[in-house]
Amino acid sequence: MDISKKLIDLARLQYPEIQENFSHVSSQDSLPFPDNFFNKVISVAVFHHFPVVYARERAGEIFRVTKPGGTIIITAWNLWQPKFRKYLWDKKIFWKKLWKKKECGGMGFKDILIPFKDNDGAVFNRYHRAYTKRELVKIFSQAGFLVTECYLANKKNIVLVGVKK
């Protein structure tokens, strides 16, 4: 399942024998699956794009579709690594976040905009949340998961593993 139709189409081409297993989803509030549907749920490099409130909602939705005893694996970028730290501590934005929150759209200290280039070379800012391991553990624990591991992989990604109680 992916929000990118292009990636789903590529997966269907590469694995035609199971192409019906690939689903395109939009950014709807709920996943198009019944309660307790999946034995395993894997989310790769998604949660760092979610503000905390939305991350809590998504964790709850993952809990809903995971079977009791099912496993989750969640990864998020470690935005505390040196190459991203400059966006966390940008002086202009830091002071705006502190004193002029309305100008920053209510962004908190761990919320950052990182410039990316689209396929045409145009630069745009994309929202990211600099989660910590502790924060992700709290989000998924509050959703109802028993977090069995949470670690930093290659200093680049936070990996959380949990089980639905």
pLDDT tens digits, one per residue of 113-142: 889 999 899 999 898 999 999 999 999 999
Q: Which residue has the higher pLDDT, 20 or 108?
A: 20
> What whole-number distance in Å separates Cα of residue 42 and Cα of residue 66?
11
State the Cα torsion 1-132-160-69 to the nearest 10°.
-90
> How many residues are there in the chain?
165
- The one-letter code for the residue type at 91 is K
Confidence of residue 35 (pLDDT cuts 50, 70, 90): very high
Q: Under a CB-based contact definition with an 8 Å cutoff, are residues 13 and 5 in contact? A: no
Q: Under a CB-based contact definition with an 8 Å cutoff, are residues 25 and 58 in contact? A: no
**Structure tokens given for 69:** 């005893």
Measured CA to CA in angstroms, residue 73 lies from 104, 123, 148, 162 at distances of: 32, 31, 10, 7
> What whole-number distance in Å separates Cα of residue 165 and Cα of residue 161?
13
pLDDT tens digits, one per residue of 50-102: 999 999 999 999 999 999 999 999 999 999 999 998 888 766 666 555 555 55
Residue whose token pair is 């959380």 = 160
- Which DSSP category does 121 fall into? S
Q: What is the DSSP code string of 31-52?
A: -SS-TT-EEEEEE-S-GGGS-H
pLDDT for 1 beyond 90? no
Which domains, and CATH codes, for the chain? 37-164 (3.40.50.150)
